[in-house]
Structure 1
Amino acid sequence: MASLSMQENFAKKLSFPTRYIFIFFVLLAAVIGVVSWSTSQGSGQYTHYNNYVIFKHSFFHLIHYQDLYQLFPAENYDLYKYSPSFALWMSAFAWMPDLPGLIFFNLLNIIVLILAIRTLPLDRKRLNLLLLFIAIETLISLTSSQTNVLIAGLLILGWHFMEKDNPWLATLMIVLTFYIKIFGIAGLLICLMYPSRWKAAMATIVWLVVLGLMPLIVVSPAQLLFLYKSWGTLLGQDHGVSVGVSLYGWWHTWFGFEMNKQIFVLIGALLLCVPLVRYSNWAQPAFRLFILSSILIWVVIFNHKGESPTYILAMVGIAIWYFSQEQQSRLNTILILLALVFTSFSSTDIIFPYKLAVAYVEPYSVKAVFCSVIWVKMIIDLTLYKIASEEGYLDTGSLRVAN
């Protein structure tokens, strides 16, 4: 009898109920909120959860007819870069004191991700391995009080609802990510090859208008138009001066690579779409999962503002790609382990000393290296090779086979 693969050997030891890991993630999110708040008491003018403070105050700036996209140094030390709609949605937390607000904000992020991961057609052992694989990046993102965990969950839910032939809910999930961080709009590629693509296109237009105009509840049309112009100006200036922890940042800092960044992103977008030429593969659930994985990685490695906390998206994509495969090649296993070490562990003191991480890991875009290598390999594999049948290893009973 053939020996079990490395993945299967590990999986045998991880047969406990997945809900225990879910509970751990929820408790982790709450504890991180408490720790972030408590360590900020008496620490100076600014808190350790500065991003949450920016999000919270954006609601008050919105209702007081202030320009959201300027510095407010009396409150925080960075710019607000999300949409006016997201500022309105922060009303759900803005009325709370910081401690409960931060806890509930973290819980929203992690609960959406948990609900999304529960929809993946993986058995319990594979799901447990996936969750353990992304644990460090989840911790990093939650500690930064950002929205990346939420966005990962929304993009997966977008895929799930397309699988359920519900384009209205699918596009709602994806458009929500756009109004949080604009790169989430790449998730619409998920909808492109399903039979209900035209319904999805119509639903996308409706949600873009409805969600985009929601701030009219509290501001005038003239003020909302001003805010969108100001947001566009900020994003345009920001794109011109930043390379981020990204594929471009890696090539730029290591090899002196120079290229128009808009053209670079356009090339990346075209490469992202190349596997869709294998239309016959679309009937395979694994192929559709790999397209989702590719998008989750792409939105990070081609993001000019990519930073360490955004890599939860890429690592979720890598985890879905790896644990959705029936047979693991030695190369794939090596690549995922390298990604774990140089993407996740590089942001901790477990392997890389703090001084080494500060001097080299972020400045030289180390976190992007193996995520980018895996993404390129994924695009090549999806384009050149036929996807094997998933019978017996993916729980595809609840999925609709696309035609």
Structure 2
Amino acid sequence: MPIAKKLSVFFNKSFFNDYRTIYWLWIAISVFMGIFNSMTGRLHNNYKIYKYVFLNILEQFPLYQPRPEFFDDINHYGPVFGIIMAPFALMPDLLGGTLWLVMLAMVLYYAVKELPINSWQHMAIFWICTNSLIIAQTNVQFNTVTAALIILSFTNIRKEKDIWAAFMIMLGTFVKLYGIVGFAFFFFSKHKPKLLLWSAIWGIVFFVLPMFISSPEFIVDQYKGWFNELVIKNQGNGSALQQNVSFLGILHKSTGNFDFSNIPILLGALLLFALPYLRIREYRQNWFQLLTLASVLIFTVLFSTGSEPNSYIIALAGVAIWFVMQKRPYTTWNLFLIIFGITVSSFAPSDLFPDYLYRHFIQPYALQALPCTIIWLTIIYEMLFRKSDNYLTDLQK
């Protein structure tokens, strides 16, 4: 029996196709990680940083200065993130940390279920993303919600809920900047002026919201500090082992040259990304919109110097969306790409991958980004030259 058919039979069993399986599995993963970190006295440093975004706003302590007595490293999130953290920061760490992880997982679960595809496609995306979710939850990463906000900006535009689409885009932008990529779906909106107007309104809301628990002068200063911190962080990401795990990182780390500018590469990538928009007649096609979403999710990770191994929950969501849109029987090339992508981009940083290969080959040269790079280029090619009959079109409306 061909491997594709074996996999199909295996995952067609009711246990693997039941939403409740993923729902409770993702909650169980989150609860386990939260309790384990707290009970072993190893409350993750990231959670401490998140918690103190809120507490520092209350104290009017600069958000982008070290507080080594409470946490290592420096905060890189916008002031409005403190409002999101408020209910969790006020709880005991065991409860707050655990519920925080559950919230991260459930937001992504909800976002994927909102995609206009069939249930078996939802389930395939869930399973493909599960290992990356475990890695993100282990490190208490907000990237899970970043992926969800990008997806929700897409689904709300499709549903003509442009007010909520603008909310998702601007929330993601004011928390971690990545949300700005949600404007890539602008051309799919039937209410473009409304989307722009509400983006401006939500932008103002998120800008001033932290002022209600602090002071306007302090928050304005923190926005200036946030900008400066992101510039400094970007400059330091290039050669860092755990940073720049991206296509940019592959180029820098494999050549050992960290001096050349990323700007020409980014301009070339943006040009490639934008080329499919020339196919204006395809804008209303489900397959074209979903491949655009896949492209956006992967692009966000591939061309950011801030990408970490944990960031690949965002890219894997894009890889999964691309894969479930392919018609069966899957081509050898598509099967190779999905296996290559899951193995290297998802499993490489985990204990399920040979440590020697990861430490000596994958990590030093940012090769975790390689499968996603090839898949992204494949998506761009498909969006430029293929037609709807190459993809599953019997989807939810």
TM over 0.5: yes
1:65 aligns with 2:60: yes
Alignment of structure 1 residues 204-219 onto 2, 5 Å:
204-219=199-214
2:60 match: secondary structure: coil
CA–CA separation in structure 1 for the residues paired with 2:391 and 2:385:
18
Deviations 1:301-347 (A, max 9, x none): 11111101110000011001101222332111101100111111211
Supply the AA of the counterpart residue of 2:354: F
Call closer, same or farther: CA 1:389–1:359 in 2, change over 3 Å: closer
CA–CA separation in structure 2 for the residues paired with 1:246 and 1:4:
29
Supply the AA of the counterpart residue of 2:245: V
Tell me which residue corresponds to 1:143.
Answer: 138
Tell me which residue corresponds to 1:44.
Answer: none
Q: CA deviation at 1:6?
A: 6.3
CA–CA separation in structure 1 for the residues paired with 2:280 and 2:5:
31
Deviations 1:206-234 (A, max 9, x none): 11111111111022222122111111111
CA–CA separation in structure 2 for the residues paired with 1:203 and 1:6:
48
My pick for the range that moved more, 23-32 or 184-193, is: 184-193
Call closer, same or farther: CA 1:125–1:71 in 2, change over 3 Å: same
Structure 1, unaligned runs of 5 or more: 42-46
1:388 match: secondary structure: helix
CA–CA separation in structure 1 for the residues paired with 2:43 and 2:211:
32
Tell me which residue corresponds to 2:281.
Answer: 280
Tell me which residue corresponds to 2:179.
Answer: 184
The alignment's TM-score, normalised by the length of structure 2, stands at: 0.92
Tell me which residue corresponds to 1:156.
Answer: 151
Q: CA deviation at 1:115?
A: 0.8
Answer yes or no: is the 8 Å Cα contact 1:11–1:125 preserved in 2: no
1:38 aligns with 2:39: yes
CA–CA separation in structure 2 for the residues paired with 1:113 and 1:326:
25
Tell me which residue corresponds to 2:386.
Answer: 385
My pick for the range that moved more, 185-194 or 58-67, is: 185-194
1:192 match: secondary structure: helix
My pick for the range that moved more, 119-128 or 11-20, is: 11-20
CA–CA separation in structure 1 for the residues paired with 2:6 and 2:165:
35
CA–CA separation in structure 2 for the residues paired with 1:351 and 1:4:
22
The alignment-based identity, stated in percent, is 27
CA–CA separation in structure 1 for the residues paired with 2:164 and 2:213:
26
Tell me which residue corresponds to 2:13.
Answer: 13
Match of 1:201 among 188, 196, 211: 196
Tell me which residue corresponds to 2:46.
Answer: 51
Answer yes or no: is the 8 Å Cα contact 1:285–1:390 preserved in 2: no
1:79 match: secondary structure: coil
Tell me which residue corresponds to 1:330.
Answer: 332
- How large is the Cα RMSD of the aligned pairs? 2.1
Alignment of structure 1 residues 4-403 onto 2, 5 Å:
8-13=8-13, 16-39=17-40, 41=41, 47-243=42-238, 244-256=244-256, 259-327=260-328, 328-353=330-355, 355-388=356-389, 394-396=394-396, 399=397
Call closer, same or farther: CA 1:93–1:135 in 2, change over 3 Å: same
Structure 2, unaligned runs of 5 or more: 239-243
Answer yes or no: is the 8 Å Cα contact 1:296–1:313 preserved in 2: yes
CA–CA separation in structure 1 for the residues paired with 2:80 and 2:133:
25
My pick for the range that moved more, 159-168 or 182-191, is: 182-191
Answer yes or no: is the 8 Å Cα contact 2:150–2:181 preserved in 1: no
Call closer, same or farther: CA 1:88–1:21 in 2, change over 3 Å: closer
2:348 match: secondary structure: helix
CA–CA separation in structure 1 for the residues paired with 2:193 and 2:389:
29
Q: CA deviation at 1:388?
A: 2.3
1:52 match: secondary structure: helix
CA–CA separation in structure 2 for the residues paired with 1:6 and 1:254:
37
Supply the AA of the counterpart residue of 2:211: L
Q: CA deviation at 1:5?
A: 5.3
Pairs aligned (count): 388
My pick for the range that moved more, 286-295 or 264-273, is: 264-273
Supply the AA of the counterpart residue of 2:62: D
My pick for the range that moved more, 276-285 or 266-275, is: 266-275
Answer yes or no: is the 8 Å Cα contact 1:11–1:126 preserved in 2: no
My pick for the range that moved more, 249-258 or 179-188, is: 249-258
CA–CA separation in structure 2 for the residues paired with 1:390 and 1:215:
45
